[in-house]
Structure formats: structure tokens, C-alpha cells
A and B are shown apart, each in its own frame.
Chain A
């Protein structure tokens, strides 16, 4: 095998996720990097401080962003199965996420003024996926009868029905005023006092590693995201995924080939809702307290943006898209702040950046950091503009999204220095 690493001698080798040695090594290194990220934080190791090396991603601020990224990636993987593979455009993702979140709350939170059963995580987290999946299966018969734009409108309706429901089911959701808290990420066998593993308390592992709550949550979400991504990939490359794609590409032909359209679409809804529910539950527990209005259309659109920008119908693309959509606003905000500082300090940079960044009410600029005071767009507004431009741009120029760009770069270097 050493002599010809690209020679495949079995169909199993041909179907492998990472067929070449290089791919396997690079992927393993990348995973290792992801696992190592929280250990770069100052104070992670013993008393003395961090592991030697970069600490750029170690501050808990950035780590929180990465946790959000992982959670969004799980949700986006679900939408990718429904919209990317099975071709059913859904704007109702936020609805199923909310169902997951409130299911988690009912099963996992202790009984208080609001409903709660106080069960451990190994019950409430799976239930947060299963209940939305059942609901998705029940709703699917209404949804599989309509296609394309009409389906988008039907699922859009779900979000609004959901918002109404959550506002009025205040014994579960806490209502619009106060919202409710969600179960903490703690492992218990049953309802015993002391948690086996708590992701809300700092701890010291192996006597040397100081783990902050965020660091532990990060590792937990990382594992979950990896498992969910693997499952999504497995679905895609087997009989189930092919049935989804067949329905997406040519529904009549797929039926004539023996694919049950109704069953397949229902399954896609159920699996997608499962992912959404898990993501919703994790997001809610991570944020800690949410109000019903959080699960709105904006959230659904964010997920559509993730799969469109990342590359529709691909797992890699969905992960890339999640990273992009979650990290971009933070980068925009940071860069705006940096720009503002440079403008205040004066010098060459100030001259260049002055028309772009507004520093106060008297100074005109494209973007400002003090919303409502200075002229120009706020950072949030600028983010919306950037999303919009990116979605339109990708739809027109690169329908395969970031994944498509990656493919082109890869193919260029594959053939380098030849043109093809």
C-alpha cells in the first residue's frame, strides 16, 4: 500500500470518509486543535497559567462564541438534511428549536412556578430531540403536499403559530416578561444532590487542568457536534440520503424508482426536527434564560443563511457556513472597535478609516460603535447588510457556497503546476 496510496482495492475503501492518508492526517490534526483550544486559556494549567503557546482563542469570551458555533452547527446540519438533501425549503426551523428547548425545560428543570420534572440530562437531552421529531412527523403530512415556495410559506406559518403558543403557554415558557431558565448541563444518574460532572462549576482535572465551565461546555458541545455531523454524513452517503436527494432532484422519477415520496419527506422532517430540537435545547441551556420571542423568524433565516453560504447539501459546507455566520459578526464588531481606536489616535490609518468609522455624533462614517448616537449603520445593521450581500452573491456566483470555493482551491492545487 505504501507504494500507491491512492490505489483503492475494495469498495469499502472507496466509500471511506477520508480516502487518502493526507486527508486523514489533516483531519486528525484539526480535531486535535479543536480539542486543545480551551487549554490555551490563561489559567487552564495548574496555578502557573496556560499551556505555552497562543492564547488567542483561550479567553472565555471567544470560547463562548465557539460553543454557540457548535450549537448552531448542529441546528444547521438538521436544516441541511431537510433543505439541502431532501430539497424541502423550511422556514420553521426556529419553531422546532423552541419545541426542543421547552421540552428540555419541562423534563430537566426542577419543579417551580413553571413546569419541570427535574430529570437528569440523559433523559432531557434525547427527549429534546425526540419530541420535536414526533411533532415534525405529525406536521409533515400537511407539509409534504406542497412544494417549493408554498412549503416555505407553510413552514413560515409554523414560526408565527409557535411564537403565539410560547407567549400564551406561560406555565411552560414563563411568558414574554421574564422568560424561563433551562436545566443546567450536569450529569446525574438520577436526582441525587451531587452531579457526577457539572458544566456549570469550575473544576480541576487530573490535578493540573483548571477547567472553566465554558471550557467544559465547549468540549461537550464539540463531541456532540462531531457525532451529529458524522450521523448526518452517514445518512447522506447511504440509501436514506440517496432517497432524499432523488426526491429533491426528480420527485416523479424517484417515485417510479420505488422511493416512497411521502415516507421519505416525512423522515426528512423528523430527522431535521430532531437536530433542531437538540440544538434548541443546548442553545437555551447555554444562554441560561430565554423569552419566547427569541425563537423567531430571524433565527430561521440565520440557519438558511448558514446552509446557503456554506454550501447547500454538504456536511462540510454546513460546518463552514456555521463558522462563518457565527464568527463574522464578532469580527465586524472587533474591527469596528479597532477602527474607532485608530481614528481617535490619528495618523495615517485615521485618514483612511475616517470615512468608514464614525466616532461620535459629529463625525460621519459608514459604521459606528455607539448605536443611535453617531450617524451611519450600527454594527448589527452592517452585519445584516453583509449577510444579505453574501447570500445574493453566493446564489449568483457560487451556488455551492464556501464548500464550492474550497473545492476549487483543492482542485487547483491537486493539478498544480498544470492547469488541469
Chain B
């Protein structure tokens, strides 16, 4: 399949460490993501999954370690620069612009692909007008792809949760990314919505060839669709590999189910 997971890595994360005033959110995590790959990160609540995402687009700055995008360090860039490089993301708690319509929301994803300045926009010059129409076309393609035509002109704040999740995915897709970070795309969805979303994710991988990192608690979904899985716990990587392999890893089982004996361990201590 279109050579996914082949070649040099798209993204390399090298031993990043992030702490907030002594609380270690990420404690030395390393992994690579290859072009076209569907890479999943799983772990118990508070394991540092979303923090890893925030480091990848530099909303948080890890104190140690390095993050390489196509071999170049992205450490210290502004978040909007990482977007221009080709890293898009969705959020765990939907972060759409509630007062704007679906079309407008997805159009903001085109922001980095448009080059009209404020002056030509203010005067509605031919250039600005053409750009608006041209990018609207692309937005309509995405709307078509995600099957949200009927909500096109609705303010997203009024839409049902499942649809909002799709719009958010659309906004990220509109950025024409090479890597898509999906933070719990099916959280709080029913079975049907989950299956729809899984279909969209697989379509994105197959048809658009975009690499994805997926953070998700729905184990069934992760094990079904991910190419590789990384398990994190307490900010540390405890396993990485194909889903079937990870599932059998004793450390993973321990992290999720606890230990069989009551022996004192890190897990047994209350977490502050």
C-alpha cells in the first residue's frame, strides 16, 4: 500500500522530557513516525499523551530532547510555524470556533495555504476574490469527503458533538498536512459514529496518504486500524510495536490491569 511506513522517518522524537514545576509530564519518550503510517499512542489517563502532542506542535516546549521534522529540528519554533511545515491536529475537547460556520471553520484551516494580504482582502481585489473561491473549492471537497454537506452554513457551536468532531477533522485536513495528530477522535461517540470516524481515518490514510498519530482510549479501534502502537505510562514509553505484539507485552498488561499480586510498586502509590 503506497509504501507506507517506508523510507526515512517523517518525524523523530528523541528522548523528550517535559516537566511543570517538578511534575514530570513526559520523562524521556522517543519514537519515529514514517510517511503514510498510522501510529497510535495509548496509555492510562494522565500518562502524557496529549502533552506529547502539545510538544509536537510546540505549544509546550520540552526542556530536554529533540524533535526532528524531516531531519530538521523544530524545537523552539512558534506553533503556527509547525502548522506551516505540515503538522495539523485535532483536540481532545473540540476546539472549533463556535460562532463561525462549518465552511468558515474549515476555511481557517486553509489560512496557511492562502497568501492574500490584508490590504487586498480589505479592498476585495481580484486576487483576494479568486483566492477565496479557489480555496472554497478545496473546502467543499473536504466537506464532501467527510459527508457534512447539510451543515455547511450552520454555526458549529449549534451542531451535535459527533458532527463537530468531523468538522474539526476537516479543518485539520484543510491544512494539507503531511502529519495529522488526532487527539481522541472517537471519545464519547456511539458505535455507529465510531465506525464512521474509523472509516474516515482509514480513507485519509489510503486516499490522501497522510501520516497520522492517533491518541485514543478505544482499544478496539486502535488495535484494528493502527500500524504501530506506542504505550506510555507516567510519561515513559513502556512498549512500542505492532498492535498484536504490544497487546501481549507484560508491562502493558500491568499498566492497564494492575499487578496480580499486591506487591508494592509505582502503580500502587497514590498519584497526587
Do the two chains belong together in a single complex? yes
B59 and A242 within 8 A (CB): no
Q: Looking at the complex, which one of B104, B107, B111 makes contact with A258 (CB distance below 8 Å)?
A: B111
Mask, A1-25, CB within 8 Å of B = 1, is: 0000000001110110000000000
B99 and A313 within 8 A (CB): yes
B96 in contact (CB, < 8 A): yes
Which residues 229-256 of A have a CB within 8 angstroms of B?
A: 230-231, 234-235, 237-243, 245-246, 248-250, 252-256
Which residues 305-338 of A have a CB within 8 angstroms of B?
A: 313
A255 and B107 within 8 A (CB): no
A69 in contact (CB, < 8 A): no
A243 and B136 within 8 A (CB): no
B137 in contact (CB, < 8 A): yes
- Nearest B residue to A10, CB-CB: B133
B contact residues, total (Cβ < 8 Å)? 41
Which residues 97-138 of B have a CB within 8 angstroms of A?
A: 97-100, 104, 107-112, 114, 116, 118, 121-124, 128-129, 131-133, 136-137
- Nearest A residue to B100, CB-CB: A245
Q: In the complex, what's the smallest C-beta–C-beta distance from A262 to chain B, in angstroms?
A: 8
Residues of B within 8 A of A246 (CB): 97, 100, 108, 111
Residues of A within 8 A of B137 (CB): 11
B50 in contact (CB, < 8 A): no
- Nearest B residue to A267, CB-CB: B118
Residues of B within 8 A of A243 (CB): 108, 111
A66 in contact (CB, < 8 A): no
Q: In the complex, what's the smallest C-beta–C-beta distance from A208 to chain B, in angstroms?
A: 36
A248 to B97, CA, bound (A): 8
- Nearest A residue to B110, CB-CB: A239
A224 to B110, CA, bound (A): 32
CB contact under 8 A between A238 and B136, given known A246-B97, A249-B99: no
Residues of B within 8 A of A256 (CB): 57, 59, 79-80, 82-83, 88-89
A347 to B49, CA, bound (A): 79
Q: In the complex, what's the smallest C-beta–C-beta distance from A378 to chain B, in angstroms?
A: 40
CB contact under 8 A between A257 and B109, given known A12-B129, A234-B123: yes
Residues of A within 8 A of B109 (CB): 257
Q: In the complex, what's the smallest C-beta–C-beta distance from A247 to chain B, in angstroms?
A: 9
Contacts A239-B111, A252-B59, A260-B80 given; 7 further ones with Cβ under 8 A? A15-B133, A231-B122, A239-B114, A246-B108, A257-B83, A257-B109, A258-B84
A257 to B109, CA, bound (A): 6
A261 in contact (CB, < 8 A): yes
Residues of B within 8 A of A241 (CB): 121
B91 in contact (CB, < 8 A): yes
Residues of B within 8 A of A238 (CB): 116, 121, 124, 128, 132
Q: In the complex, what's the smallest C-beta–C-beta distance from B176 to chain A, in angstroms?
A: 11
Chain A interface, DSSP helix/strand/loop, else mixed = helix
CB contact under 8 A between A235 and B100, given known A256-B89, A258-B175: no
A86 to B121, CA, bound (A): 16
CB contact under 8 A between A234 and B122, given known A257-B109, A258-B84, A313-B99: yes
Number of A-B residue pairs, CB cutoff 8 Å, is 114
CB contact under 8 A between A259 and B111, given known A234-B121, A234-B122: yes
B171 and A11 within 8 A (CB): no
Residues of A within 8 A of B112 (CB): 257-258
Tell me which of A11, A14, A243, A253 has the highest count of chain B C-beta atoms within 10 A of its own C-beta. A253
B133 and A11 within 8 A (CB): yes
Q: Give me 27 A-to-B residue pairs in the complex whose CB atoms sit less than 8 angstroms apart, sorted by A's number.
A: A11-B136, A14-B136, A235-B118, A238-B121, A239-B107, A239-B114, A239-B131, A240-B118, A243-B111, A245-B100, A248-B97, A249-B100, A250-B95, A252-B59, A254-B97, A254-B108, A255-B79, A255-B80, A257-B108, A257-B111, A258-B80, A258-B111, A259-B111, A260-B78, A261-B80, A267-B118, A313-B99
A243 to B107, CA, bound (A): 10
Mask, B72-87, CB within 8 Å of A = 1, is: 0000001110111000
A238 to B114, CA, bound (A): 10
Residues of A within 8 A of B133 (CB): 10-12, 15
- Nearest A residue to B135, CB-CB: A239
A245 to B132, CA, bound (A): 17
Which residues 10-25 of B have a CB within 8 angstroms of A?
A: none
Residues of B within 8 A of A257 (CB): 80, 83, 88, 108-109, 111-112, 171, 175
A249 and B98 within 8 A (CB): yes
A237 to B132, CA, bound (A): 9
A250 to B91, CA, bound (A): 11
- Nearest A residue to B83, CB-CB: A258
The 7 A-B pairs of least Cβ separation, nearest first, read A258-B83, A258-B112, A253-B95, A249-B97, A238-B121, A255-B79, A234-B124
A297 in contact (CB, < 8 A): no
Residues of B within 8 A of A11 (CB): 132-133, 136-137, 140
Residues of B within 8 A of A234 (CB): 121-124, 128
- Nearest A residue to B125, CB-CB: A234
A125 in contact (CB, < 8 A): no
A271 in contact (CB, < 8 A): yes
A371 to B136, CA, bound (A): 59
B121 and A240 within 8 A (CB): yes
Residues of B within 8 A of A271 (CB): 118, 122
Residues of B within 8 A of A245 (CB): 97, 99-100, 104, 108
Q: In the complex, what's the smallest C-beta–C-beta distance from A319 to chain B, in angstroms?
A: 18
B89 and A239 within 8 A (CB): no
CB contact under 8 A between A240 and B122, given known A11-B137, A12-B129: yes
Residues of A within 8 A of B104 (CB): 242, 245
Which residues 271-286 of A have a CB within 8 angstroms of B?
A: 271
Residues of B within 8 A of A15 (CB): 132-133, 136
Mask, B145-158, CB within 8 Å of A = 1, is: 00000000000000
